[in-house]
């Protein structure tokens, strides 16, 4: 499946798109962090927060239209146009990086977010159309693996690039190169014509899209579960830098270690979900993932070493035996997340009508964005207003998994029935 023409060109296209987003975004943030005050149009903290907002805002503004468009157009045709737009944006981005025009880079970040918002629905909606039913779970696993490895490579790679002497020029060249290869790969995706019934669907706005998805109870429950995953992931990734400094007494290189453990764990968990489900859409493993997120999330906090002898760098941190339990817990949080998320994506793709599939993904993207914004608000409320520690926030997040487990397995019959059937087959 992986190297077949119906999947591999798409896989390369979406991999490079995710990598480009993360390289550009992190290069921008690092350039801002190391820029002198008089070079910036505003304070560093304000710029960073605005950058985070302008990248996610397009998902709220344009996802509904993107879903409607993806349902009525040939998906391969649409991907090719979206990738051409990305190439144009990256050419301008390269100029902005060279000239260190921060406002231009910020505006281009918004446009990249817009391009990603249009790519999101078609990226997931085409999988049931191009893959066999028994390949759907595996296809979603590969997508999740590539997404989180792109986050890892983009974050770490941006740090290496910006710290090098020729980093600015190399960064500008790479974003254009990745976009160009993505365009080439997209032209090898086989045609995927729209379902004829999709043209009869009325176009919906954001609120109408969410309201329509809410009326499909099983799908809405899965979308809510997916959004919780992004809430959790955004919370962890946002807090890692400060957590590393305050509680692990380590330099920024250790942040990359934590990010690597988390991302590789999700990649491993994605493939474990394929093995557990035996290639089927198996909602019964979702509670297993949530239990892992809860248990390892709590033990991650309990595993923080009590004392410190010196400031740790990545090598000394990894070699220190007192960190093994903490690193294992973080890896297993990622594994549990992978086990949890893959069946949920596979379920909404297989459950949705072919003529409405991209709109379901659009509703998912809108709710994901709202949950990620809420995660930032919760963190500010807990850490700033209530003056809690980051470790207490992590405990709160772990406890939140229990509430999601209750919501899915007690309130929603399809999840409860699937969990019981899965346990009965296994034990």
List pLDDT tens digits, range 15-53: 999 999 989 988 887 787 666 656 777 776 677 768 878
- Residue ranges of alpha helices (H) inside 34-135 are 44-72, 75-99, 102-125, 127-130
Q: Give yes or no for a contact between 234 and 376, defined as CB atoms under 8 angstroms apart.
A: yes
Q: Outline where DSSP puts E strands in 321-389.
A: none
Structure tokens at 89: 């944006």
> How far is it, in rounded angstroms, from Cα 170 to Cα 64?
36
> How far is it, in rounded angstroms, from Cα 158 to Cα 29?
9
Structure tokens at 27: 């290069």
Tell if the pTM clears 0.75, that is, is over it: yes
Beta bridge partners of 312: 250
pLDDT digits (tens, 9 = 90+) for 77-100: 999 999 999 999 999 999 998 888
User: Could you tell me which residues come within 8 angstroms of residue 333 by beta carbon, excluding any fewer than 6 positions away?
Assistant: 236, 262, 265, 292, 293, 296, 297, 300
Q: Give yes or no for a contact between 312 and 249, defined as CB atoms under 8 angstroms apart.
A: yes
Most confident of 21-35, 45-59, 301-315, 375-389: 375-389
pLDDT digits (tens, 9 = 90+) for 323-348: 999 999 999 999 999 999 999 999 99
- The candidate with the shortest Cα–Cα distance to 147, out of 276, 334, 323, is 334
pLDDT digits (tens, 9 = 90+) for 351-373: 888 878 888 999 999 999 999 98
| Phi and psi angles of residue 250, each rounded to the nearest 5 degrees, phi first | -130, 160
Q: Which of 74-83, 187-196, 270-279, 369-378 has the lowest mean pLDDT?
A: 187-196
Tell the residue number behind the tokens 């209530």, with chain if given: 386
> How far is it, in rounded angstroms, from Cα 420 to Cα 137?
20
By three-state DSSP, how is residue 41 classified?
A: coil
- The candidate with the shortest Cα–Cα distance to 143, out of 332, 346, 350, is 346
202 has a pLDDT exceeding 70:
no
């Amino acid at each position: 499946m992986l190297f077949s023409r119906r999947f591999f060109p798409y896989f390369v296209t979406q991999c490079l798109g995710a990598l480009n987003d993360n390289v550009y975004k992190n290069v921008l943030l690092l350039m801002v962090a190391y820029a002198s005050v008089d070079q910036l149009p505003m304070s560093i903290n304000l710029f960073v927060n605005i950058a985070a907002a302008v990248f996610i805002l397009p998902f709220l503004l344009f996802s509904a239209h993107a879903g409607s468009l993806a349902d009525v157009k040939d998906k391969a045709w649409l991907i090719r146009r979206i990738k051409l737009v990305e190439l144009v944006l990256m050419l301008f981005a390269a100029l902005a990086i060279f000239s260190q025009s921060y406002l231009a880079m910020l505006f281009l970040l918004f446009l990249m977010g817009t391009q990603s918002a249009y790519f999101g629905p078609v990226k997931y909606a085409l999988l049931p159309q191009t893959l066999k039913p028994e390949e759907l779970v595996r296809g979603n696993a590969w997508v999740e693996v590539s997404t989180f490895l792109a986050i890892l490579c983009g974050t770490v790679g941006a740090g290496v690039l910006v710290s090098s002497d020729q980093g600015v020029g190399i960064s500008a060249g790479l974003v254009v190169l990745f976009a160009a290869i993505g365009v080439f790969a997209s032209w090898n995706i086989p045609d995927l014509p729209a379902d004829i019934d999709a043209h009869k669907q009325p176009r919906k706005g954001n609120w109408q899209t969410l309201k329509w998805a809410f009326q499909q109870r099983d799908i809405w429950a899965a979308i809510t579960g997916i959004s919780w995953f992004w809430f959790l992931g955004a919370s962890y990734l946002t807090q890692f830098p400060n957590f590393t400094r305050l509680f692990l007494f380590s330099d920024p290189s250790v942040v990359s270690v934590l990010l690597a453990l988390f991302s590789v764990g999700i990649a491993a968990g994605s493939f474990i979900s394929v093995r557990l489900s035996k290639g089927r859409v198996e909602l019964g493993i979702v509670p297993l993932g949530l239990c892992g997120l809860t248990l390892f999330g709590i033990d991650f906090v309990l595993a923080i070493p009590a004392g410190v002898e010196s400031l740790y760098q990545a090598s000394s941190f990894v070699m220190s035996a007192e960190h093994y339990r903490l690193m294992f817990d973080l890896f297993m949080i990622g594994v549990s997340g992978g086990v949890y998320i893959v069946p949920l994506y596979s379920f909404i793709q297989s459950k949705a009508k072919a003529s409405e599939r991209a709109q379901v993904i659009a509703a998912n993207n809108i709710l994901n964005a709202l949950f990620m914004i809420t995660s930032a608000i919760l963190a500010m409320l807990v850490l700033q207003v209530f003056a809690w520690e980051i470790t207490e926030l992590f405990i709160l997040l772990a406890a939140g998994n229990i509430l999601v487990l209750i919501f899915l397995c007690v309130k929603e019959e399809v999840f409860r029935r699937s969990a019981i059937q899965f346990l009965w087959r296994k034990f």
